[in-house]
Amino acid sequence: LCIAETCPSCSVTVLSDQFSPNTTSDVAAGMLIPHTYPDTPIHVQKQWFKETFTYLFAISNSAEASEAGIHLVSGWQVFKNTPKEELPFWSDIVLGFRPMSEEELRKFPQHRFGQAFTTLKCDCPPYLLWLEKRLKAIGVQMRTRKVADLWELHSEYDVVVNCAGIGAHQLVGDTELFPVRGQVLKVHAPWVKNFIRDGDGLTYIYPGIHTVTLGGTREKGSWNLSPDPGITKDIFERCCSLEPSLRGAQDTKVKVGLRPSRQGVRLQREVLSQGGVKLPVVHNYGQGAGGFSVHMGTAKEAACLVGECIAALQGSSSRAKL
Protein backbone atom coordinates (compact mmCIF):
# COMPACT_ATOMS: atom_id res chain seq x y z
CA LEU A 1 0.00 0.00 0.00
CA CYS A 2 2.82 2.42 0.85
CA ILE A 3 4.61 1.63 -2.41
CA ALA A 4 1.46 2.10 -4.49
CA GLU A 5 0.75 5.38 -2.69
CA THR A 6 4.30 6.81 -2.93
CA CYS A 7 4.87 5.61 -6.51
CA PRO A 8 1.52 5.79 -8.35
CA SER A 9 3.17 4.92 -11.68
CA CYS A 10 4.42 1.55 -10.30
CA SER A 11 2.40 -1.56 -11.00
CA VAL A 12 2.31 -3.54 -7.72
CA THR A 13 1.53 -7.24 -7.25
CA VAL A 14 1.22 -9.01 -3.89
CA LEU A 15 2.30 -12.66 -4.08
CA SER A 16 1.57 -14.81 -1.05
CA ASP A 17 0.98 -18.48 -0.36
CA GLN A 18 -1.56 -17.53 2.34
CA PHE A 19 -3.82 -14.53 2.82
CA SER A 20 -6.00 -13.50 5.78
CA PRO A 21 -7.23 -15.30 7.91
CA ASN A 22 -4.29 -17.73 7.62
CA THR A 23 -1.30 -15.53 8.50
CA THR A 24 0.67 -14.78 11.68
CA SER A 25 -0.76 -11.26 11.55
CA ASP A 26 -4.27 -12.72 11.97
CA VAL A 27 -3.20 -14.27 15.29
CA ALA A 28 -1.63 -11.10 16.74
CA ALA A 29 -3.36 -9.37 19.61
CA GLY A 30 -2.71 -6.16 17.64
CA MET A 31 -1.89 -3.93 20.63
CA LEU A 32 0.22 -0.85 19.97
CA ILE A 33 2.83 -1.45 22.68
CA PRO A 34 6.31 -1.71 21.17
CA HIS A 35 8.81 -4.48 21.82
CA THR A 36 12.50 -3.60 21.76
CA TYR A 37 14.85 -4.86 19.01
CA PRO A 38 18.36 -4.96 20.55
CA ASP A 39 20.16 -4.37 17.22
CA THR A 40 17.99 -1.46 16.00
CA PRO A 41 18.75 2.05 17.36
CA ILE A 42 16.05 3.23 19.77
CA HIS A 43 15.44 6.50 17.88
CA VAL A 44 14.64 4.44 14.76
CA GLN A 45 12.24 2.17 16.69
CA LYS A 46 10.61 5.24 18.21
CA GLN A 47 10.10 6.80 14.78
CA TRP A 48 8.52 3.56 13.43
CA PHE A 49 6.16 3.43 16.41
CA LYS A 50 5.28 7.11 16.16
CA GLU A 51 4.41 6.84 12.46
CA THR A 52 2.29 3.75 13.07
CA PHE A 53 0.51 5.33 16.04
CA THR A 54 -0.23 8.55 14.14
CA TYR A 55 -1.55 6.63 11.13
CA LEU A 56 -3.84 4.37 13.19
CA PHE A 57 -4.96 7.22 15.47
CA ALA A 58 -6.31 9.04 12.40
CA ILE A 59 -8.20 5.87 11.32
CA SER A 60 -9.61 5.42 14.85
CA ASN A 61 -10.90 8.97 14.60
CA SER A 62 -12.63 8.48 11.24
CA ALA A 63 -15.86 6.93 9.97
CA GLU A 64 -13.80 3.88 8.85
CA ALA A 65 -12.78 2.93 12.42
CA SER A 66 -15.18 0.06 13.04
CA GLU A 67 -14.75 -1.54 9.59
CA ALA A 68 -10.96 -1.23 9.91
CA GLY A 69 -11.12 -2.73 13.43
CA ILE A 70 -9.10 0.09 15.02
CA HIS A 71 -9.98 1.58 18.40
CA LEU A 72 -8.51 3.34 21.41
CA VAL A 73 -8.18 1.33 24.61
CA SER A 74 -7.12 2.41 28.10
CA GLY A 75 -5.61 0.24 30.79
CA TRP A 76 -2.63 -0.75 32.86
CA GLN A 77 0.75 -2.40 32.59
CA VAL A 78 1.58 -3.77 36.06
CA PHE A 79 4.86 -4.98 37.56
CA LYS A 80 5.63 -7.22 40.54
CA ASN A 81 8.85 -5.22 41.03
CA THR A 82 9.55 -1.66 39.89
CA PRO A 83 11.27 -1.86 36.47
CA LYS A 84 14.74 -0.33 35.94
CA GLU A 85 13.31 1.91 33.23
CA GLU A 86 10.22 3.58 34.65
CA LEU A 87 9.69 5.62 31.47
CA PRO A 88 9.75 3.43 28.33
CA PHE A 89 10.89 5.09 25.06
CA TRP A 90 7.31 5.10 23.78
CA SER A 91 5.78 6.80 26.85
CA ASP A 92 5.34 10.16 25.09
CA ILE A 93 3.68 8.62 22.02
CA VAL A 94 0.82 6.72 23.67
CA LEU A 95 -1.78 8.97 25.30
CA GLY A 96 -1.85 10.08 28.94
CA PHE A 97 1.04 7.90 30.18
CA ARG A 98 1.41 8.16 33.98
CA PRO A 99 2.36 6.02 36.96
CA MET A 100 -0.62 4.27 38.55
CA SER A 101 -1.94 5.61 41.84
CA GLU A 102 -1.95 3.57 45.07
CA GLU A 103 -5.75 3.30 44.74
CA GLU A 104 -5.53 1.84 41.21
CA LEU A 105 -2.84 -0.61 42.30
CA ARG A 106 -5.27 -2.05 44.87
CA LYS A 107 -6.90 -3.89 41.97
CA PHE A 108 -3.64 -5.84 41.56
CA PRO A 109 -2.59 -7.08 45.03
CA GLN A 110 0.37 -9.08 43.63
CA HIS A 111 1.87 -6.05 41.86
CA ARG A 112 3.76 -3.12 43.32
CA PHE A 113 4.13 -0.71 40.40
CA GLY A 114 2.13 0.14 37.32
CA GLN A 115 1.73 2.43 34.32
CA ALA A 116 -1.64 3.69 33.08
CA PHE A 117 -2.08 4.83 29.49
CA THR A 118 -4.33 4.83 26.45
CA THR A 119 -3.15 3.20 23.25
CA LEU A 120 -4.60 1.75 20.04
CA LYS A 121 -5.64 -1.78 19.24
CA CYS A 122 -6.18 -3.41 15.85
CA ASP A 123 -8.64 -6.26 15.52
CA CYS A 124 -6.30 -7.94 13.10
CA PRO A 125 -8.53 -10.01 10.74
CA PRO A 126 -10.87 -7.06 9.93
CA TYR A 127 -7.88 -4.71 9.62
CA LEU A 128 -6.16 -7.04 7.14
CA LEU A 129 -9.35 -7.32 5.07
CA TRP A 130 -9.71 -3.53 5.11
CA LEU A 131 -6.11 -3.19 3.85
CA GLU A 132 -6.81 -5.76 1.10
CA LYS A 133 -9.89 -3.79 0.05
CA ARG A 134 -7.78 -0.60 -0.21
CA LEU A 135 -5.13 -2.44 -2.25
CA LYS A 136 -7.71 -3.78 -4.70
CA ALA A 137 -9.34 -0.33 -5.00
CA ILE A 138 -6.09 1.18 -6.26
CA GLY A 139 -5.48 -1.62 -8.74
CA VAL A 140 -2.92 -3.75 -6.85
CA GLN A 141 -3.00 -7.40 -8.00
CA MET A 142 -3.25 -10.15 -5.35
CA ARG A 143 -2.01 -13.60 -6.38
CA THR A 144 -1.75 -16.85 -4.40
CA ARG A 145 1.72 -18.21 -5.06
CA LYS A 146 4.48 -19.77 -2.99
CA VAL A 147 7.88 -18.36 -3.92
CA ALA A 148 10.66 -20.91 -3.52
CA ASP A 149 13.51 -18.54 -4.43
CA LEU A 150 13.43 -14.75 -4.98
CA TRP A 151 15.42 -15.19 -8.18
CA GLU A 152 12.45 -16.96 -9.83
CA LEU A 153 10.79 -13.49 -9.98
CA HIS A 154 13.57 -11.75 -11.93
CA SER A 155 12.03 -12.07 -15.38
CA GLU A 156 8.59 -10.81 -14.26
CA TYR A 157 9.37 -7.92 -11.87
CA ASP A 158 11.85 -5.01 -11.70
CA VAL A 159 11.97 -4.84 -7.88
CA VAL A 160 11.04 -7.48 -5.30
CA VAL A 161 10.04 -6.67 -1.69
CA ASN A 162 10.47 -9.53 0.76
CA CYS A 163 7.83 -9.31 3.53
CA ALA A 164 7.66 -13.05 4.16
CA GLY A 165 7.71 -12.89 7.98
CA ILE A 166 8.88 -16.19 9.46
CA GLY A 167 8.76 -17.59 5.88
CA ALA A 168 12.00 -15.65 5.21
CA HIS A 169 13.87 -18.30 7.22
CA GLN A 170 13.42 -20.70 4.31
CA LEU A 171 12.94 -18.20 1.48
CA VAL A 172 16.27 -16.40 1.92
CA GLY A 173 17.94 -18.85 4.33
CA ASP A 174 18.14 -16.30 7.15
CA THR A 175 19.49 -18.28 10.09
CA GLU A 176 19.32 -15.17 12.35
CA LEU A 177 15.52 -15.37 12.06
CA PHE A 178 13.80 -17.68 14.54
CA PRO A 179 10.20 -18.39 15.57
CA VAL A 180 8.85 -17.43 18.98
CA ARG A 181 5.65 -19.44 19.29
CA GLY A 182 2.68 -17.60 20.78
CA GLN A 183 -0.63 -19.09 21.86
CA VAL A 184 -3.61 -16.85 22.65
CA LEU A 185 -7.28 -17.30 23.51
CA LYS A 186 -10.11 -15.23 22.07
CA VAL A 187 -13.06 -15.12 24.48
CA HIS A 188 -16.44 -13.46 24.73
CA ALA A 189 -16.34 -11.17 27.80
CA PRO A 190 -17.87 -7.85 26.72
CA TRP A 191 -17.76 -6.41 30.26
CA VAL A 192 -13.93 -6.25 30.14
CA LYS A 193 -13.19 -2.74 28.89
CA ASN A 194 -9.61 -2.03 30.09
CA PHE A 195 -6.43 -3.74 28.95
CA ILE A 196 -4.17 -5.36 31.55
CA ARG A 197 -0.60 -6.42 30.75
CA ASP A 198 1.83 -7.97 33.20
CA GLY A 199 5.15 -6.18 32.67
CA ASP A 200 6.91 -9.55 32.42
CA GLY A 201 5.25 -9.73 28.97
CA LEU A 202 3.74 -13.16 29.50
CA THR A 203 0.18 -12.49 30.64
CA TYR A 204 -2.16 -10.02 29.00
CA ILE A 205 -5.85 -9.23 28.57
CA TYR A 206 -6.69 -7.10 25.54
CA PRO A 207 -10.32 -6.17 24.85
CA GLY A 208 -11.13 -5.80 21.16
CA ILE A 209 -14.33 -4.84 19.36
CA HIS A 210 -15.94 -8.32 19.47
CA THR A 211 -13.66 -10.52 21.60
CA VAL A 212 -11.05 -10.23 24.34
CA THR A 213 -7.58 -11.65 23.61
CA LEU A 214 -5.97 -13.52 26.51
CA GLY A 215 -2.28 -14.31 26.35
CA GLY A 216 0.16 -15.65 26.13
CA THR A 217 3.30 -17.67 25.64
CA ARG A 218 6.79 -17.06 24.20
CA GLU A 219 8.41 -20.34 23.14
CA LYS A 220 11.68 -19.56 21.41
CA GLY A 221 12.58 -21.93 18.57
CA SER A 222 9.25 -23.80 18.47
CA TRP A 223 7.66 -24.25 15.01
CA ASN A 224 4.59 -26.05 16.42
CA LEU A 225 1.35 -24.46 15.19
CA SER A 226 -0.98 -26.85 17.07
CA PRO A 227 -2.82 -25.45 20.13
CA ASP A 228 -1.72 -27.03 23.42
CA PRO A 229 -4.68 -27.67 25.81
CA GLY A 230 -2.39 -27.50 28.89
CA ILE A 231 -1.17 -24.05 27.81
CA THR A 232 -4.77 -22.93 27.17
CA LYS A 233 -5.65 -23.76 30.79
CA ASP A 234 -2.52 -22.05 32.11
CA ILE A 235 -3.20 -18.84 30.11
CA PHE A 236 -6.79 -18.78 31.36
CA GLU A 237 -5.73 -19.21 35.02
CA ARG A 238 -3.04 -16.51 34.74
CA CYS A 239 -5.54 -14.07 33.18
CA CYS A 240 -8.20 -14.86 35.83
CA SER A 241 -5.71 -14.06 38.56
CA LEU A 242 -5.33 -10.56 37.03
CA GLU A 243 -9.03 -10.14 36.18
CA PRO A 244 -11.22 -12.57 38.21
CA SER A 245 -14.39 -11.68 36.27
CA LEU A 246 -12.97 -13.61 33.30
CA ARG A 247 -14.22 -16.80 35.01
CA GLY A 248 -17.53 -15.94 33.33
CA ALA A 249 -15.99 -15.69 29.83
CA GLN A 250 -17.53 -17.85 27.10
CA ASP A 251 -16.90 -19.14 23.61
CA THR A 252 -13.13 -19.70 23.90
CA LYS A 253 -11.19 -20.04 20.64
CA VAL A 254 -7.45 -20.85 20.61
CA LYS A 255 -4.93 -19.47 18.11
CA VAL A 256 -1.21 -20.05 17.60
CA GLY A 257 1.28 -17.95 15.64
CA LEU A 258 5.04 -17.81 15.10
CA ARG A 259 6.59 -14.39 15.78
CA PRO A 260 9.27 -13.70 13.12
CA SER A 261 12.07 -12.78 15.53
CA ARG A 262 15.66 -11.64 15.11
CA GLN A 263 17.92 -9.18 16.99
CA GLY A 264 17.02 -6.35 14.61
CA VAL A 265 14.36 -5.88 11.90
CA ARG A 266 15.88 -6.58 8.48
CA LEU A 267 15.06 -3.45 6.48
CA GLN A 268 17.63 -3.13 3.73
CA ARG A 269 18.37 -3.21 0.01
CA GLU A 270 20.21 -6.05 -1.64
CA VAL A 271 21.02 -6.63 -5.30
CA LEU A 272 20.83 -10.27 -6.44
CA SER A 273 22.80 -11.03 -9.55
CA GLN A 274 23.23 -14.04 -11.84
CA GLY A 275 25.13 -14.08 -15.14
CA GLY A 276 25.23 -10.27 -15.32
CA VAL A 277 21.45 -9.97 -14.72
CA LYS A 278 20.50 -8.00 -11.60
CA LEU A 279 17.42 -8.07 -9.38
CA PRO A 280 17.04 -5.35 -6.71
CA VAL A 281 15.40 -6.64 -3.52
CA VAL A 282 14.11 -4.76 -0.45
CA HIS A 283 13.86 -6.87 2.72
CA ASN A 284 11.27 -5.93 5.33
CA TYR A 285 10.82 -8.71 7.90
CA GLY A 286 11.77 -9.77 11.41
CA GLN A 287 9.37 -7.52 13.35
CA GLY A 288 9.03 -10.28 15.99
CA ALA A 289 6.58 -9.64 18.83
CA GLY A 290 5.92 -6.03 17.79
CA GLY A 291 4.98 -6.19 14.12
CA PHE A 292 1.69 -4.35 14.49
CA SER A 293 3.22 -1.66 16.65
CA VAL A 294 5.70 -0.67 13.94
CA HIS A 295 4.08 -1.86 10.71
CA MET A 296 3.40 1.50 9.10
CA GLY A 297 6.78 2.98 10.08
CA THR A 298 8.68 0.01 8.67
CA ALA A 299 6.48 -0.08 5.55
CA LYS A 300 7.18 3.60 4.84
CA GLU A 301 10.92 3.00 5.16
CA ALA A 302 10.66 -0.03 2.85
CA ALA A 303 8.74 2.09 0.30
CA CYS A 304 11.58 4.69 0.40
CA LEU A 305 14.09 1.89 -0.31
CA VAL A 306 11.94 0.77 -3.26
CA GLY A 307 12.07 4.39 -4.51
CA GLU A 308 15.90 4.23 -4.30
CA CYS A 309 15.89 0.95 -6.30
CA ILE A 310 13.71 2.54 -8.99
CA ALA A 311 15.96 5.62 -9.16
CA ALA A 312 19.01 3.33 -9.52
CA LEU A 313 17.28 1.33 -12.29
CA GLN A 314 16.34 4.53 -14.13
CA GLY A 315 19.92 5.80 -13.74
CA SER A 316 21.40 2.58 -15.12
CA SER A 317 18.94 2.37 -18.05
CA SER A 318 19.68 5.99 -19.09
CA ARG A 319 23.44 5.22 -18.82
CA ALA A 320 22.84 2.07 -20.91
CA LYS A 321 21.10 4.18 -23.57
CA LEU A 322 24.05 6.60 -23.64
Binding region for FAD: 24-25, 147
Nearer residue to ligand OAA within complex by CB, 79 or 204:
204
Contact 309, 141 (CB under 8 A): no
Residue 229 CB coordination number (10 Å):
9
Q: Taking CB under 6 A as the rule, does residue 216 contact ligand OAA? A: yes
Separation of first and last alpha carbons in the chain:
34
Q: Where in the chain does DSSP place strands (E)?
A: 13-16, 70-79, 95-99, 113-122, 141-144, 160-162, 178-188, 195-198, 204-207, 212-215, 219-220, 250-261, 266-274, 277-285
Nearest-approach distance from CB 34 to ligand OAA, in angstroms = 9
Q: Taking CB under 6 A as the rule, does residue 146 contact ligand FAD? A: yes
Q: Taking CB under 6 A as the rule, does residue 179 contact ligand FAD? A: no
Site string for ligand FAD, 257-296 (x = CB under 6 A): x-xx------------------------x-xxxxxxx---
Backbone dihedral region of 211: left (phi > 0), alpha (psi from -120 to 50 degrees) or beta? beta
Q: Taking CB under 6 A as the rule, does residue 77 contact ligand FAD? A: no
d(Cα 280, Cα 322) in Å, to the nearest integer?
22
Q: Taking CB under 6 A as the rule, does residue 18 contact ligand FAD? A: yes
d(Cα 158, Cα 309) in Å, to the nearest integer?
9
Which residues are paired to 31 by β-bridges? 121
Query: Which of ligand OAA, ligand FAD, none has residue 25 at its interface (CB below 5 to 8 Å by kind)?
Result: ligand FAD
Q: Taking CB under 6 A as the rule, does residue 153 contact ligand OAA? A: no
Nearest-approach distance from CB 276 to ligand FAD, in angstroms = 26
Residue 15 CB coordination number (10 Å):
16
SS3 percent helix, strand, coil of the chain, rounded to 5, is 35, 30, 35
Burial class (CB in 10 A: 0-12, 13-18, 19+), 313: middle
* Ranges within 161-200 binding ligand OAA (CB under 6 A): 182, 197
Cβ contacts of 131 within 8 Å, gap of 6 or more: 1
Query: Which of ligand FAD, ligand OAA, none has residue 291 at its interface (CB below 5 to 8 Å by kind)?
Result: ligand FAD
Annotated binding site: 24-25, 147, 204, 259
Q: Taking CB under 6 A as the rule, does residue 259 contact ligand OAA? A: yes
Nearest-approach distance from CB 38 to ligand FAD, in angstroms = 16
d(Cα 13, Cα 182) in Å, to the nearest integer?
30
- With CB under 6 A as the contact rule, the residue among 56, 120, 163, 187 that binds ligand FAD is 163
Nearest-approach distance from CB 122 to ligand FAD, in angstroms = 8
Annotated binding site for D-dopa: 204, 259
Which residues bind to ligand OAA, rule: CB under 6 A? 29, 31, 33, 182, 197, 201, 204, 215-216, 259, 289-290
| Binding interface with ligand FAD (CB under 6 A) | 15-18, 23-25, 27-31, 146-147, 163-167, 171, 182, 184, 216, 257, 259-260, 285, 287-293
